[in-house]
Amino acid sequence: MTDKEIEIKALLGEIHNLKRDFAFKLEEIQALYIEIKLQRNLVEKYKLENKHLRQQIKQLGQEAEDMMLYPWLFLENQYIENTIDL
């Protein structure tokens, strides 16, 4: 074999290795993309849940305040609910 043939064979081997490395990196990028997409979906889900929980907390706080200000109204509503359940 001549020096040129040996050099060509070495270059072809290097090209093959680079293609293999590129394919591996492409798989990694695709996996990371999917993972990021899932994480974004989770973030959106948790943001929505957080929003609902904050609304619930606000509503419960308002109800507690109303119960403190108007305990007779709360007792009346409890009485009505209990008679309906019977």
- Total number of domains in the chain: 1
Question: DSSP readout, 10-44?
Answer: HHHHHHHHHHHHHHHHHHHHHHHHHHHHHHHHHHH
Domain that holds residue 61: 3-85
Per-residue confidence at 69, pLDDT binned at 50, 70, 90?
Answer: confident
pLDDT at 40: 97
Which residues neighbour 74 within 8 Å (Cβ) at sequence distance 6 or greater? 66, 67
pLDDT (tens digit, 9 = 90+) per residue, 16-55?
A: 999 999 999 999 999 999 999 999 999 999 999 999 999 9
Q: Is the pLDDT of residue 83 over 80?
A: no
